[in-house]
């Protein structure tokens, strides 16, 4: 028999333990992507029912009903009303929490009316088991006319029974005979029209299309207009009908549930209440939040420094090894100087991303994140952001890439987009080496008030300026961007629970994997291109430069190392990157930058910290030079007119340029991946560069 | 205005923003269809008993509790939930 593949939809309300069931079913055989055309995360997984039955399961976003209020819910509606949608399922696994069977039955009753073959997976959580909640599963199965299986997402109990039931269901294709909602006369007439016009089989599906004409993506403009006219003709009052329908459904299934369930557990004065008394407290709440964020921030820096150094070291050893053991030709150079540092530049960020997502996933699993959203929603709203944006902004202090990835939890598109656009203004860890070298020029080391290090104070001020710039830009974007999406916050605050480690693991695994594969490819390509630009030049210029440099070195009686450094510096000057630096010089001159700084600005696109390495090469400073050596060397550097290159004005202008400018190709690539269009990264690059240019220009022109 | 206020007092109705912390009341109806649709989908129906747990630290949001779950709402949504005081 040939292999058969079935599509299964995993559906349920938010906070039902749906993702636990998904992880139990698919294990590592899962893939995160996006739903076609939109940027809502789509999780797919595969498993086998038997040797010739493959199952492809889609974990849909948690949904309260098929009356969508968010992009997430709209996707579910679209996938379930369109037979040609790639996610249209052969059968549905519906996950409901046994404690909340009543409200979790609303969506289920709608799915039953759509006549999908459904198996109901009742998630028995610990609370239910401890309190001895009893449910008559057979009776429920009979009354709903569905197979019902009790499962435990934590332990995986019941998963085999679920799979067996699914297999039976796929053979019989049996849907429930139960009908939870009978259309009103008017609704039935409209539905009939729609069924005929756009060939929808199911009456209830046609009604849903009538309710949400504008949100249905498979209708073309003409069809939409036609259906809107139809609604008009029948004086169809969508929202009132929806409310009546919801009430009608509750009246149908509440009696059923009362017959099968002993008692509903009231949450009463539980642990969650006690925790929230402290955690969401008017004063303590924000303090606890900032301490937690400070801890995350600190953890990203301290815990990651060892693995990052380790990765960095291993890769430079590898480069060295290749240089030593293979003949020096173009290919080995490409590998040792272009590719290996490129891969290293990707992997070196993994520890930070791992730690950030580990801690954020734990906070999310525990139930804390939704409290943070609740507390800060109002403030963030003023800037066009969402309560959840605060997490992304703080993560931006480590690296903008994972920070932008973490905006996926913001369901309002406009708020998410603004968060993405402003996050790179927060000073990330790649800016630190640049600041560290340059601040020495601007600020002499002394004690403020006798105990505060002046340079540390400037560092803090730079962070603060970054935060203010981000909030200011967010405010501007809020005024400019238009959105038809209703912004609301009707947010379930789940009861606190111990994190489910399997979910945390899969979440972190997904994030790290998508970074390494997604952003990694681009960082690697950019590194290779930049290596090429810095290693090659037009025709014979580089050869000439090497010859001249060798002669110069022997005239100056340099030793071997000095000669090598001098040649490297001249090579870079006459490379394509060097020429590019000269080309942009007229543009950056008003900021106080010469063409050598121009070269460093260009090579910084691989990652900002590359600035330090490029400057070191240009000024013939050895690779392992300390910060003090670099600073001394730069301070003594004179231009053609005999004036120092790095004055206070230049250094400050450069610091501010690095603070504001969008000099990170990986971030731009991540923004592209998250927004699905080059429009937003291009705009981001433009506005941040303009901001940087203007600020540096003003500062330099005043100070020079 | 004043008449409406007196009527509210007489009928003993109010909305979520008028509750004091810890106070419990029963949902009477919703004065906005969108808010009604969303909250009813989340399990808040007329007749459901709710308690105001807290207001957000910087204002603008309300944290309420029903028999078996917790929900956070903004002011402009909480206003549309009309309540009957439990006496």
| Mean confidence (pLDDT) of chain A | 86
Give the whole-angstrom CA distance, residue A201 versus residue A193. Answer: 12
B33, B56, B59 ranked by CB distance to A243: nearest: B33
- pLDDT at res. B79: 92
- pLDDT at res. B49: 92
Report the number of distinct structural domains present in chain B: 1
C-alpha distance from B83 to closest chain A C-alpha (Å): 17
Say which DSSP state A656 is in: H
Following DSSP, what letter does each residue of A32-92 receive, concatenated? EEE-TTS-SEEEEEEEEEETTEEEEEEEPPP-S-SS--SHHHHHHHHHHH-TTSTT--SEE
Give the whole-angstrom CA distance, residue A83 versus residue A38. Answer: 19
Structure tokens at A404: 């932008």
C-alpha distance from B65 to closest chain A C-alpha (Å): 9
- pLDDT higher than 70, residue A690: yes
Q: Is the dihedral of CA A427, A433, A436, A438 positive or negative?
A: negative
Neighbours of A129 (CB within 10 A): 11
| Mean confidence (pLDDT) of chain B | 84
Of A63-72, A281-290, A485-494, B64-73, minimum mean pLDDT range: A485-494
- pLDDT at res. B1: 43
C-alpha distance from B78 to closest chain A C-alpha (Å): 9
C-alpha distance from B85 to closest chain A C-alpha (Å): 19
Interface touch B63/A490, C-beta < 8 Å: no
- pLDDT higher than 70, residue B7: no
Give the whole-angstrom CA distance, residue A629 versus residue A15. Answer: 56
- pLDDT higher than 90, residue A299: no
How confident is the model over A538-562, as pLDDT tens digits?
877 777 888 888 888 888 788 877 8
- CA dist list (Å): A375 to A370, A380, A390, A467: 9, 10, 11, 19
Interface touch B40/A239, C-beta < 8 Å: no
Higher pLDDT, A214 or A32: A214
Inform me whether the C-beta atom of residue A374 falls under 8 Å from chain B C-beta atoms: yes
Span A1-266 CATH architecture = 3-Layer(aba) Sandwich (3.40)
B-chain residues near A103 (CB < 8 A): 42-43, 69
- pLDDT higher than 90, residue A107: yes
Where in the sequence is the domain holding B37, given as residue range(s)?
2-85
SS3 of A397-460: CCCHHHHHHHHHHCCCHHHHHHHHHHHHHCCCHHHHHHHHHHHHHHCCCCEECCCEEHHHHHHH
What is the ipTM score, two decimals?
A: 0.88
Pairs of residues, one from chain A and one from chain B, whose beta carbons lie less than 8 Å apart: 126
- pLDDT at res. A423: 96
Inform me whether the C-beta atom of residue A100 falls under 8 Å from chain B C-beta atoms: yes
Going from N- to C-terminal start, the domains of chain A cover 1-266
Q: Work out the burial of residue A148: count CB atoms within 10 Å of its CB; fewer than 13 is exposed, 13-18 middle, 19 or more buried.
A: buried
- pLDDT higher than 80, residue A627: no
Q: Which of A247, A131, A138, A125 is nearest to A184 (CA)?
A: A247
- pLDDT higher than 90, residue A244: yes
Interface touch A490/B39, C-beta < 8 Å: yes
Query: Hey, is A148 helix, strand or coil?
Result: strand
How confident is the model over A415-467, as pLDDT tens digits?
999 999 999 999 887 888 888 888 877 777 777 777 777 777 888 888 889 99
- pLDDT at res. A474: 96
Interface touch B72/A242, C-beta < 8 Å: no
Interface touch A280/B63, C-beta < 8 Å: yes
- pLDDT at res. A195: 92
Q: Which residues between 488 and 507 in chain A have a beta carbon less than 8 angstroms from any beta carbon of chain B?
A: 488-495
How confident is the model over A366-389, as pLDDT tens digits?
989 889 888 988 888 889 998 888
C-alpha distance from A367 to closest chain B C-alpha (Å): 11
Give, in degrees to the nearest 5, the angle at Cα A371 between A368 and A372.
Answer: 90
- pLDDT at res. A453: 76
Best residue of B21, B36, B68 to probe chain A, by most A CBs closer than 10 Å: B68
How confident is the model over A502-529, as pLDDT tens digits?
889 988 888 788 778 877 787 788 888 8
Which residue of chain B comes nearest to A373, CA vs CA? B72
Q: Which residues between 420 and 459 in chain A have a beta carbon less than 8 angstroms from any beta carbon of chain B?
A: none
H or E element that contains B27: strand B24-30
A-chain residues near B17 (CB < 8 A): none
The mean per-residue pLDDT over the stretch B27-35 comes to 91
Give the whole-angstrom CA distance, residue A385 versus residue A391. Answer: 11
- pLDDT higher than 90, residue A300: no
Inform me whether the C-beta atom of residue A67 falls under 8 Å from chain B C-beta atoms: yes
B35, B67, B72 ranked by CB distance to A491: nearest: B72
Distance, CA of A380 to chain centre: 19
C-alpha distance from B24 to closest chain A C-alpha (Å): 13
Q: Work out the burial of residue A586: count CB atoms within 10 Å of its CB; fewer than 13 is exposed, 13-18 middle, 19 or more buried.
A: exposed
Give the whole-angstrom CA distance, residue A337 versus residue A537. Answer: 16
C-alpha distance from B62 to closest chain A C-alpha (Å): 8
A-chain residues near B37 (CB < 8 A): 65, 67, 69, 239, 242-243, 246
Q: What is the CATH number of the domain that holds B40?
A: 2.30.30.90
Structure tokens at A529: 């291109």
Interface touch A370/B36, C-beta < 8 Å: no
Q: Which residues between 212 and 271 in chain A have a beta carbon less than 8 angstroms from any beta carbon of chain B?
A: 239-240, 242-243, 246-247, 250, 264-267
Predicted TM-score (pTM) of this structure = 0.82
């Amino acid at each position: 028999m040939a292999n058969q593949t079935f599509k299964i939809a995993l559906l349920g309300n938010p906070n039902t333990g749906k993702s636990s069931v998904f992880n139990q079913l698919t294990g590592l055989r899962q893939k995160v992507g996006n739903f076609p055309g939109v940027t809502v995360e789509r999780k797919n997984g595969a498993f086998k029912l038997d040797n010739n039955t493959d199952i492809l399961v889609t974990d849909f976003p948690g949904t309260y009903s098929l009356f969508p209020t968010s992009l997430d819910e709209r996707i579910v509606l679209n996938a379930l009303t369109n037979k040609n949608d790639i996610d249209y399922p052969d059968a549905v696994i519906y996950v409901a929490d046994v404690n909340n069977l009543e409200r979790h039955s609303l969506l289920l009753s709608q799915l039953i009316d759509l006549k999908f073959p459904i198996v109901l997976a009742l998630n028995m959580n610990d609370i239910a088991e401890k309190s001895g909640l009893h449910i008559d599963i057979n009776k429920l199965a009979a009354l709903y006319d569905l197979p019902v299986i009790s499962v435990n997402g934590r332990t995986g109990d019941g998963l085999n029974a679920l799979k067996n039931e699914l297999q039976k269901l796929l053979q019989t294709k049996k849907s429930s005979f139960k009908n939870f909602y009978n259309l009103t006369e008017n609704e039935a007439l409209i539905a009939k029209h729609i069924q005929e016009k756009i060939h929808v089989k199911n009456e209830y599906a046609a009604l849903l299309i009538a309710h949400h004409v504008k949100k249905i993506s498979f209708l073309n403009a003409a069809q939409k207009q036609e259906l809107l006219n139809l609604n008009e003709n029948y004086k169809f009052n969508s929202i009132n009908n929806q409310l009546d329908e919801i009430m009608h459904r509750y009246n149908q299934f509440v009696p059923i549930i009362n017959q099968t369930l002993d008692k509903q557990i009231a949450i009463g004065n539980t642990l969650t209440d006690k925790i929230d008394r402290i955690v969401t407290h008017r004063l303590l709440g924000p303090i606890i939040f900032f301490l937690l964020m400070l801890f995350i921030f600190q953890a990203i820096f301290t815990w990651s420094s060892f693995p990052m150094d380790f990765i960095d070291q291993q890769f430079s050893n590898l480069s060295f090894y290749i240089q030593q053991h293979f003949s020096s030709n173009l290919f080995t150079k490409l590998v040792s100087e272009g590719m290996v540092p490129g891969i290293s530049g990707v992997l070196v960020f993994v520890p930070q991303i791992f730690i950030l997502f580990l801690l954020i996933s734990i906070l999310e699993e525990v139930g804390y994140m939704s409290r943070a959203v609740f507390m800060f929603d109002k403030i963030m709203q003023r800037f066009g952001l969402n309560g959840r944006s605060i997490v992304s902004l703080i993560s931006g202090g480590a690296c903008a890439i994972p920070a932008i990835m973490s905006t996926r939890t913001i369901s309002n598109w406009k708020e998410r987009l603004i968060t993405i656009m402003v996050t790179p203004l927060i000073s990330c860890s790649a800016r630190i080496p640049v600041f560290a070298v340059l601040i020495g020029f601007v600020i002499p080391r002394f004690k403020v008030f006798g105990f505060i290090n002046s340079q540390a104070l400037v560092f803090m001020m730079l962070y603060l300026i970054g935060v203010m710039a981000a909030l200011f830009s967010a405010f501007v974007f809020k005024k400019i961007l238009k959105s038809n999406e209703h912004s609301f916050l009707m947010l379930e605050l789940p009861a606190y629970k111990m994190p489910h480690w399997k979910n945390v693991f899969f979440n972190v695994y997904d994030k790290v994997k998508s970074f390494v594969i997604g952003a990694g490819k681009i960082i690697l390509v950019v590194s290779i291109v930049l290596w090429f630009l810095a290693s090659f030049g037009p025709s014979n210029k580089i050869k000439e430069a090497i010859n001249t440099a060798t002669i110069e070195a022997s005239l100056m009686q340099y030793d071997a190392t000095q000669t090598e450094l001098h040649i490297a510096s001249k090579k870079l000057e006459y490379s394509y990157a060097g020429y590019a630096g000269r080309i942009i010089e007229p543009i950056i001159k008003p900021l106080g930058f010469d063409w050598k700084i121009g070269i460093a600005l260009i090579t910084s696109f691989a990652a900002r910290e590359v600035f330090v390495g490029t400057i070191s090469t240009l000024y013939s400073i050895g690779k392992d030079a300390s910060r003090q050596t670099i600073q001394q060397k730069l301070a003594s550097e004179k231009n053609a007119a005999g004036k120092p290159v790095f004055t206070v004005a230049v250094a400050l202008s450069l610091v501010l340029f690095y603070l504001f400018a969008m000099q990170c190709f990986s971030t731009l690539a991540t923004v592209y991946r998250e927004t699905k269009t080059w429009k937003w990264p291009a705009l981001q690059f433009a506005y941040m560069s303009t901001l940087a240019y203007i600020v540096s220009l003003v500062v330099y022109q005043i100070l020079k | 205005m004043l008449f409406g206020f007196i009527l509210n007092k007489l009928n003993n109705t109010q909305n979520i923003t008028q509750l004091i912390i810890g106070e419990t009341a029963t949902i009477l109806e919703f004065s906005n269809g969108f808010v009604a649709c969303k909250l009813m989908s989340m399990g808040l129906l007329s007749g459901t008993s709710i308690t105001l747990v807290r207001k957000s630290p910087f204002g603008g949001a309300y944290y309420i509790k029903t028999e078996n779950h917790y929900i956070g709402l903004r002011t402009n949504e909480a206003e549309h939930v009309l309540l009957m005081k439990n006496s």
